[in-house]
Chain A
Amino acid sequence: MHPIILLLVFVAATVVGYLIIKNVPPLLHTPLMSGMNALSGITLLGALTVVGITYIAAKQGELLLGQLLGGIAVIAATINIVGGFGVTHRMLKMFDKKKKRSNHE
Chain B
Amino acid sequence: MNSTLYLISCAVLSIAVLIGISLMSRVKTAVAGNLISAVSLLLGISVTLVYNDILSAWSIFAFMLMGLLVGAALAARVKMIQMPQLVALLNGLGGFASALVGILTLLGIGVLTYNYPVFMNVTSVLAIIVGLVTLTGSLIAAGKLHHLLPQKPVKWKNHTFLLTTSLAVLGGITLFTGFAGETLSTESTVIILIISILISSFFGIAFAVRVGGADMPITISLLNSLSGVAGAIAGMAVNDLLLVSVGGIVGASGLLLTRVMCRAMNRGLKEILTGKTSTTSPHQPVHAPYLDTEEEVPLDPILTEGQESSVNEPTEPKPVRPSHEEVLTTAKSVIIVPGYGMALAQAQHLVQQLANKLEEKGAEVKFAIHPVAGRMPGHMNVLLAEADVPYEKLFEMDAVNDDFAQTDLVVVIGANDVINPAARDAKDTPIYGMPVLNVDHAKEIIICNYDLNPGYSGVENPLYKQDEKVHLLLGDAKDSLSSLLEVLFHYTTR
Residues of A participating in the B interface, judged by any CB pair closer than 8 Å: 1-3, 6-7, 9-18, 20-56, 58, 62, 65-67, 69-99, 101-102
Contacts of A75 in B (CB 8 A): 63-64, 66-67, 70
- Quick check: A24 and B24 within 8 Å, CB to CB? yes
Contacts of A25 in B (CB 8 A): 25, 396
| CB within 8 Å: A-B pair count | 417
Q: Is B404 an interface residue (CB 8 A)?
A: no
17 A–B contacts from the bound complex (CB under 8 Å): A6-B244, A29-B257, A29-B381, A36-B253, A37-B227, A42-B41, A43-B101, A48-B64, A51-B59, A52-B52, A56-B57, A72-B96, A79-B67, A80-B97, A94-B382, A95-B385, A98-B391
CA–CA, A76 to B132, complex, Å? 13
Given contacts A55-B57, A74-B60, A94-B386, contact A13 B67 (CB under 8 A): no
With A52-B49, A69-B103, A92-B30 given, name 9 new contacts (CB 8 A): A7-B236, A27-B394, A39-B17, A46-B101, A76-B67, A81-B38, A83-B72, A86-B75, A94-B386
Per-residue CB proximity of B247-266 to A under 8 Å, as 1/0? 11111111111001000000
Contacts of A71 in B (CB 8 A): 59, 63
Q: Is B37 an interface residue (CB 8 A)?
A: yes
- Quick check: B94 and A80 within 8 Å, CB to CB? yes
The B interface, classified by DSSP as helix, strand, loop or mixed, is helix
Given B87, B110, B237, B394, which contacts A33 in the complex, CB threshold below 8 Å? B87
Name B222-241 residues within 8 Å CB distance of A: 224, 227-228, 230-232, 234-241
The A interface, classified by DSSP as helix, strand, loop or mixed, is helix
CA–CA, A5 to B234, complex, Å? 15
Q: Is B204 an interface residue (CB 8 A)?
A: no
- Quick check: B252 and A17 within 8 Å, CB to CB? yes
Q: Is B480 an interface residue (CB 8 A)?
A: no
Given contacts A40-B224, A67-B59, A70-B110, contact A35 B390 (CB under 8 A): no
Given contacts A10-B232, A42-B231, contact A27 B101 (CB under 8 A): no
CA–CA, A92 to B23, complex, Å? 12
Contacts of B236 in A (CB 8 A): 3, 6-7, 10
- Quick check: B227 and A14 within 8 Å, CB to CB? no
What distance in Å separates the Cβ of A79 from its nearest Cβ neighbour in chain B?
4
Given contacts A1-B239, A92-B30, contact A10 B94 (CB under 8 A): no
Segment at the interface with A among B76-84, B440-448, B452-460, B481-489: B76-84
What distance in Å separates the Cβ of B247 from its nearest Cβ neighbour in chain A?
7
Per-residue CB proximity of B93-116 to A under 8 Å, as 1/0? 111111011011101011110001
